[in-house]
Structure 1
Amino acid sequence: MTLTLNIPDPVLRRLQSLCTDVPRAVLEGFAVESYRTGTLSCAEIGDLLGHTSSWDTQAFLAEHHAWPAPTLEEVTSDIASLHNTRVP
């Protein structure tokens, strides 16, 4: 699929001053946010970005500090673990 975005010229100039490949930067930004929100999996991010290994995808996500948002169950479990490991 090909996607066309209309970016106002002042915004485009600003983006071009920050990076040499604006379409790739937009795609990577979408990928990072999609992973953080749980919309796309790590494997899907790898496919989207054309990575040849899961290591490349994991390195990309780590470089962008992209971690999936924790679920309520994960937070509850972490809190319970902290309460159980507290030193009196």
Structure 2
Amino acid sequence: MAGSKWIRPEVYPLLGALGAAVGMCSFQLVRNICINPEVRLLKEKRSAGVLDNFEEGKRYAEHGLRKFVHQRAPQIMPSINNFFSNPDLPN
């Protein structure tokens, strides 16, 4: 196989990690350019200066994922944490 000469199997996890990092950075860049209230690409909007647009800023900061996380306990694995912190002691 010609591909095995250039790319070894040990490189695939590295490519996966780099791909995930580039994907997350690209997502954040596009999100900031498109919907961040402080970023203005058009010259007409930049001339407005500082806007006191608190509602738009709050909508940007309190996105769907953050609203979902605020309703959850701040634990990664709550069932395992509860098992080890509150064990049922036999009588």
**TM-score computed with the length of structure 2 as normaliser:** 0.29
* Structure of larger gyration radius: 2
**TM-score computed with the length of structure 1 as normaliser:** 0.30
